[in-house]
Amino acid sequence: MEDKHLNGFKSNAKIGVYVDVANVNRNGGYGMQYDVLREFACRDFAEALRLNAYVSFDVERAREDITYRKGINNYFSVLREYGFKVIQKNVKWYEDDKGNRYGKANADLDMAVDALLQSQNLDRVLLVTGDGDFIQVVRALQNYGCRVEVVAFENISNELKREADMFLSGYLIPNLLPVKRNIENNIEWGAIGSVVRGYCSHYYDDRGFGFMRYLDRIAPGLWITDARHDESPYRAAFFHGSNLPEEVNTSQLPNRDFIFEFRLEESKNNNKDPVAMNIRLLG
């Protein structure tokens, strides 16, 4: 039976996904689920032609630290199970003027070159990084006719956001970064009692309340942001201004740059929308 939410959204697009693993892990995305990332990239039944994960590997440490060696090799194996090609960049060690050793394993150039060379066979490219060094790569890919999407968590270049055809915070994608409470209580993302992440889409300062918008599921039609639309993957949650964290200035709301994590509770006023409680600001 055809899912009613896919009507008019099925795609024959060919997708390439390029993940700057070190950048993601350093900037809020440690623990990202690569099977969920693949599902998001192919959310409209598109075909994933390229799935590349660019990783760093410390050869010296691997020789001496068996825990590190086993852990990282297992991590690489999991990525391969999900269909990702693991492009390994070995850490090179240097000394500064004071004799301090430091390691570097920058995979940016490899990732950029691969994305550009492989784009001739792609319709859509998903870059998973917040690094502003990829701005020119985004422009070049667009000039080749590719639609470019960017997903990242924290410390994201604002210019990279602007250049992309679509930017989406990784925090907003259901289960991309699992919520511990949901796992412990075996609650699905979006169910009453679950913890989800979203942003303030409306706030009425004179009345002291507003609405959070959050993705209820991974689905096409991300441009249909009105949660009242049947085919929108978004849902709305009511909140009272008094439940916002102290560090949030309500004069800055609504604001899509503020990502909130909150628990969904059933409305006591028989409203359709759930209520956002235990709100905290991420990043």
By the 8 A CB rule, do 125 and 149 touch? Answer: yes
Give the model's pLDDT for residue 150: 98
Strands lying side by side in the sheet with 85-90: 85-90, 47-57, 14-20, 124-128, 147-152, 166-169
By the 8 A CB rule, do 44 and 220 touch? Answer: yes
The pLDDT-based confidence of 206 (bands split at 50, 70, 90) is very high
The pLDDT-based confidence of 246 (bands split at 50, 70, 90) is very high
Give the model's pLDDT for residue 101: 63
Structure tokens at 175: 């289960």
The residues near 117 (Cβ < 8 Å, ≥ 6 apart) are none
Q: Which tens digits make up the pLDDT trace of 3-29?
A: 545 555 678 899 999 999 999 999 999
Q: Are 14-172 and 180-281 equal in CATH topology?
A: no
Give the model's pLDDT for residue 1: 41
CATH superfamily placement of domain 14-172: 5'-nuclease (3.40.50.1010)
Could you tell me the end-to-end alpha-carbon distance of the chain, in angstroms, rounded to an integer?
A: 41
By the 8 A CB rule, do 134 and 114 touch? Answer: no
Task: Give the domain ranges of the chain.
Answer: 14-172, 180-281
The answer to whether residue 271 scores a pLDDT higher than 80 is: no
Q: Which tens digits make up the pLDDT trace of 159-201?
A: 999 999 999 999 999 999 999 999 999 999 999 999 999 999 9
Give the model's pLDDT for residue 97: 65
Q: Which tens digits make up the pLDDT trace of 65-101?
A: 889 899 999 999 999 999 999 999 887 765 666 667 6
Give the model's pLDDT for residue 2: 45
The answer to whether residue 62 scores a pLDDT higher than 90 is: no
Q: Which tens digits make up the pLDDT trace of 29-53?
A: 999 999 999 999 999 999 999 999 9
Mean pLDDT across the stretch 261-272?
88
Q: Which tens digits make up the pLDDT trace of 213-245?
A: 999 999 999 999 999 999 999 999 999 999 999
The answer to whether residue 257 scores a pLDDT higher than 60 is: yes
Q: Which tens digits make up the pLDDT trace of 90-129?
A: 877 656 666 676 556 578 899 999 999 999 999 999 999 9
Domain spanning 180-281: CATH 2.40.50.140: yes
The answer to whether residue 249 scores a pLDDT higher than 90 is: yes
Give the model's pLDDT for residue 65: 86
